[in-house]
Structure 1
Amino acid sequence: MTKLSVNINKIATLRNSRGGNVPDVVKVAVDAQNFGADGITVHPRPDERHIRRKDVHDLRGVIRTEFNIEGYPSREFLELVKSVRPHQVTLVPDPPEALTSNAGWDTIARQSFLQDVIAELKECGIRTSIFVGTELEMIQKAAETNTDRIELYTEPYASGYLADREKAIAPFVEAAQLANKIGLKINAGHDLSLENLKFFNERIPYLKEVSIGHALIAEALYLGLEKTIARYKELLNKDK
């Protein structure tokens, strides 16, 4: 069964819009785990517009499943994750001002940089994943960074799903097959939702984990967090 990591950035965005501590980011993380989430994902940015550094430290003490921290590997970010020691760090190529992740790494141009960062994280016993598109050459070169996993950037799949889901999924299937062949484990995320996740999960071989935030939190406004997580978990069960 593919694992579900719930990204709680949007909870922090809502909290920060009014100040105070409502909604409580830590409580939501605990609740999400109790409702069946296999992990919690956060993406702290330098301006702390959603997840704050303090949140990262506070969450480490309550995560009993898997803690995944996403971010651009600036020196500040690396020092944060090395102090917290999450189970997984997902490296994204976003500049500090980016609204959200919108591309994978150029693993050719940035290979030496990624190798150095990954070596530093592995010295701390942290599993690494790097955000990539479906370009086969980029996936091939990702393996040479010594990362443990890749996270497939799924926005192109999500945007093309309604028009032609077979066409939208095809490059992801090919990418996953290559990744598995060269020894990379596979995560995925970005714009996956209750509408498009089942087909993706059924068609992508060797998929280990999906990280979902924006759609899941938006859907929870209508369904409630517990029911929404249960629906996602059902979609990720390949036996059903």
Structure 2
Amino acid sequence: MLREPLTAGVCDGATESVLAKDWARLLSRVAAEHAMEQSEFLAGGTAFEEFASSAVAQWDPWLKQYTQARQVEGRPLKWYEHTKLAAGAYATLLTVRVDPDLDQYRDTTEPGWRWRAAALGDSCLFHLRNDRLAQAFPVAAVEEFGTTPDLFGSRNHDVALLARRTRFTEGTCQPGDRLLLMTDALAAWLLAAQDQDDAVRQVLEYAGPDDLDEFKNWLNGLRDSRQLRNDDVALVRIDFEGR
């Protein structure tokens, strides 16, 4: 029985910006830390603005360390890299926090969970019940994917604007439910599938905890058949079990 909060997330770096993967990694870590310490940030408002300000404030110190490391390695930044770095790095944001519903557990002896999520851009959360899609967030249909999703910039100090563009939701889970967090390429494949139940079955079959190679081979097969856009894929799977 989970008795402590759990946080997870995926942040997808924009390939057209420099050091996007590094910014995505930093952003995901900061979001998870804030979600653990202050769950109300996943409801928006001032708490989210404080998180956004903290994330942006950590970019320049990280970049200074990166620049110094490159200098020590004999690979100083080129002039054109300085130009790109001035523009900042960009990534989507998806963060979820899960809390055990201890009141329900005391009343019914059956475990339950409550979750909150925040999303900026097109990384998606899917809530499965009976291994069927019950909720998709923030994109509910494949037609909603575009070529220019909202992004979280490493130099964007307009945290009120970031908060306004971010979407928030919450829900409850029961034993047998699952949450899937995934970046846009795999999310679009799932939402576009003619047989969505079969698509969900494939994700659950190949995205198990034990065989990363099998998961990679499955993705490459989808890419080879042009069912999946050739892009990076990140996936987090949370399964809810009984006592």
Instruction: Confirm or deny a common fold (TM above 0.5).
Output: no
Larger Rg, first or second structure (1 or 2): 2
The structure with higher relative contact order (CA 8 Å, sep 6+) is 2
Higher relative strand content: 2
TM-score, normalized by length of structure 2? 0.29
TM-score, normalized by length of structure 1? 0.29
